[in-house]
């Protein structure tokens, strides 16, 4: 490798700027401009790639809409009513409140598609509920909230899967379906671990909800529970595209919070719009930067070069997936998940196709890897969020996360070596891959 080549210098500049605190999207744009200048190419190509990529991909609109829907849910009382309903289901068992944490993430997953929204919204409420009267240690509550939030983007809808579809041209609808079985497996594993912890640590038993209150609580939560049914029903019936379904989810969340529950104030609505705009702008800048940098990567013919190298190693499909898992798990320790999806994953896609790996299967494996990165030290973003919310030391939260992380790695291994766990449901829906 020539360390004085334009591409090598661009990589150094991008890394240096990111380490100095510049957003990774802007860092990639700056590095790409430098590359084009050093290569004697038209630097206006950066603007062309940015604008063409951002404005010709209708699918990108789904990202801010799902984010806004999640913010509205957390601002209104939809999340609170959801938690009460989950408490009716599993709250009466030993460690029931911890099981409520798992179940609410499972249901919330069908509404927001964002692990961050889950942890920052319903996760904050669960932290307060679990630590009240010293029922659970703050570190265990924080760790459980972090690992259950990981379920969100694996089950449909999923913002990371939308971004993967952007870089791979895989079907969003089938990607969403492919995440269902892995998400349910991961949920079951987390519930098993909570059940084991409940017996070993003698977790408290919550006061059972009187039977006479069950219909009322269920009825109050019914509009919230209807949201994933409407959302996914519209996608798979063909009534809407995934992007239109995201708009429908946002509109439905606003209507339920303002008209039915009457719990969303004007100030809360404004704050939800503001937070959604900031988050969407951050993700949008990263997507734009990645589109520009991916143009540079294409010029350098890096994906084909990597495919040639891996082909020379004579790897079969499962050996390649094992290598990808190892690389993505390591990168997840130090890089933000969206950056990995936009920069690293496109390089692997040609090789995956050459080895006959289905892109829906590959996409679900990639997304699970990236979600594990959210709870993997030292960079795990969910760990930082829950440290801030709970006030517990990071090392205590990491310690309590470890058993759950082991289960999630096992789930990753299962879906890696048994593709039918991912592809069974999409094929039932007519997928021909």
Q: How confident is the model over 134-163, as pLDDT tens digits?
A: 778 899 988 998 898 888 889 888 888 988
The full DSSP string for 27-50 is: HHHHHHHHHHHHTT--TTHHHHHH
Mean pLDDT confidence for 348-370:
91
**Three-class secondary structure of residue 378 per DSSP:** coil
pTM assigned to the model: 0.82
Backbone angles phi, psi at 262, to 5 degrees: 55, 45
Q: How confident is the model over 362-410, as pLDDT tens digits?
A: 999 999 998 898 888 766 778 877 887 788 888 899 899 999 999 999 9
- What span, in angstroms and rounded, lies between the C-alpha atoms of 286 and 306? 24
- What span, in angstroms and rounded, lies between the C-alpha atoms of 87 and 103? 9
- What span, in angstroms and rounded, lies between the C-alpha atoms of 6 and 430? 46
Q: How confident is the model over 230-283, as pLDDT tens digits?
A: 887 887 777 888 788 888 888 988 898 888 888 888 888 888 889 888 878 877
- What span, in angstroms and rounded, lies between the C-alpha atoms of 386 and 147? 10
Each as own residue / partner, the long-range contacts of residues 268-271 (CB below 8 Å, 24 or more positions apart, any chain) are: 268/75, 268/76, 269/72, 269/75, 271/75
DSSP state letter for 60:
G
- What span, in angstroms and rounded, lies between the C-alpha atoms of 388 and 124? 10
Mean pLDDT across the chain: 83
């Amino acid at each position: 490798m020539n360390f004085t080549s334009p591409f090598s210098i661009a990589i150094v500049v991008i890394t240096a700027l990111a380490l100095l605190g510049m957003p990774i999207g802007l860092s990639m744009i700056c590095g790409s401009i430098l590359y084009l200048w050093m290569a004697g190419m038209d630097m206006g190509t950066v603007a062309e790639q940015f604008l063409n990529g951002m404005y010709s991909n209708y699918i990108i609109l789904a990202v801010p809409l799902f984010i806004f829907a999640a913010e509205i849910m957390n601002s209104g009382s939809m999340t609170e009513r959801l938690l009460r309903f989950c408490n009716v289901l599993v709250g009466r068992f030993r460690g029931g409140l911890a099981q409520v944490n798992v179940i609410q993430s499972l249901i919330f997953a069908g509404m927001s598609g964002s692990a961050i929204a889950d942890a920052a919204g319903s996760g904050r409420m669960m932290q307060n509920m679990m630590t009240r009267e010293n029922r659970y240690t703050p570190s265990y509550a924080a760790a459980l909230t972090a690992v259950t939030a990981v379920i969100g983007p694996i089950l449909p809808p999923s913002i990371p899967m939308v971004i993967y579809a952007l870089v791979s041209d895989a079907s969003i609808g089938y990607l969403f379906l492919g995440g269902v079985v892995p998400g349910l497996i991961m949920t079951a594993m987390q519930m098993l671990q909570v059940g084991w912890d409940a017996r070993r640590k003698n977790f408290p038993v919550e006061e059972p909800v009187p039977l006479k209150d069950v219909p009322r609580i269920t009825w109050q939560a019914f509009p919230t529970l209807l949201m994933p049914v409407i959302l996914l029903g519209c996608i798979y019936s063909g009534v809407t595209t995934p992007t239109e379904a995201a708009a429908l989810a946002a509109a439905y969340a606003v209507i339920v919070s303002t008209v039915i529950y009457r719990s969303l104030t004007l100030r809360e609505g404004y704050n939800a719009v503001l937070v959604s705009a900031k988050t969407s702008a951050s993700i949008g800048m990263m997507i734009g930067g990645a589109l520009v940098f991916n143009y540079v990567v294409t010029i350098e013919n890096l994906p084909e070069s990597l495919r040639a190298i891996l082909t020379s190693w004579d790897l079969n499909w499962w050996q390649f997936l094992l290598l990808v898992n190892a690389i993505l798990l390591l990168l997840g320790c130090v890089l933000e998940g969206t950056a990995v999806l936009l920069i690293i994953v496109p390089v692997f896609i040609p090789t995956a196709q050459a080895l006959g790996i289905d892109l829906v299967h590959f996409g679900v494996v990639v997304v699970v890897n990236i979600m594990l990165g959210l709870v993997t030290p030292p960079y795990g973003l969910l760990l930082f969020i829950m440290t801030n919310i709970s006030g517990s030391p990071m090392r205590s939260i990491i310690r309590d996360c470890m058993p759950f992380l082991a289960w999630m790695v096992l789930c990753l291994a299962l879906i890696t070596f048994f593709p039918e766990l991912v592809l069974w449901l999409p094929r039932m829906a007519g997928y021909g891959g």
